[in-house]
Structures are given as C-alpha cells and as structure tokens.
Amino acid sequence: MATMNVSLPDPMKSWVEERARDGRYSNASDYVRHLIRRDQERARALSQLQAAITKGMESGAPQPFDASRFKARMRGGDDQ
C-alpha cells in the first residue's frame, strides 16, 4: 500500500481525528479511505446517470406517457 502525506487546516485535522476516536474507524487513514471510496461510488453513479440521460436524449423524439399502459405492463398485462 502506498503512503501519501496530506496537509489539512487544523479544524479539518481535528475532524478527521475525532472520526477515528469515536470508534467507527480504527485510524485517520481508514476514515480517509472510506471518504475516497464514497467519492468513487458517487462518481460512478453520476457517470451512469449521465449515460442514461444521454441515451434518452439520443433515443429519438419524445413520446406521450400513458400511465394506464405503463401500470398494465408493470402488472404483467399485454397492453403494449
């Protein structure tokens, strides 16, 4: 595992140290790794959302939404 030194303002350093002391994380590095994993997950989710939006935008002209047909399809009906 690689080591990285990060400079933090005193209030942020205190915050990280408190997260480690409260028992949820064994040390400051565990807390920072947790934050990085959450940021990575968020970036992946945003990328997937953007891809879905792009796919929708490129799928052609919009069609009217028929709530009754949608509900019937969700119940397993043949109304398509």
- Segment-wise mean pLDDT, segments of 10 residues, the chain, 80 residues: 94 95 94 97 98 96 92 78
Query: Taking the CB of residue 16, how many other CB atoms lie within 10 A of it?
Result: 18
- Show Cβ contacts of residue 39 under 8 Å, excluding neighbours closer than 6 positions: none
Instruction: Report residue 9 as tokens.
Output: 């303002």
Instruction: Return left, alpha or beta for 26; rule: phi > 0 is left, psi -120 to 50 is alpha, else beta.
Output: alpha
The whole-model pTM stands at: 0.70
In a domain, 19, yes or no: yes
Candidates 47, 20, 49; CA nearest to 35 is 20
In a domain, 66, yes or no: no
Q: What is the pLDDT at residue 76? A: 87
In a domain, 75, yes or no: no
What is the span of the domain harbouring residue 52? Answer: 10-60
In a domain, 69, yes or no: no
- For the chain, the domain total comes to 1
In a domain, 3, yes or no: no
CA distance 79 to 72: 6
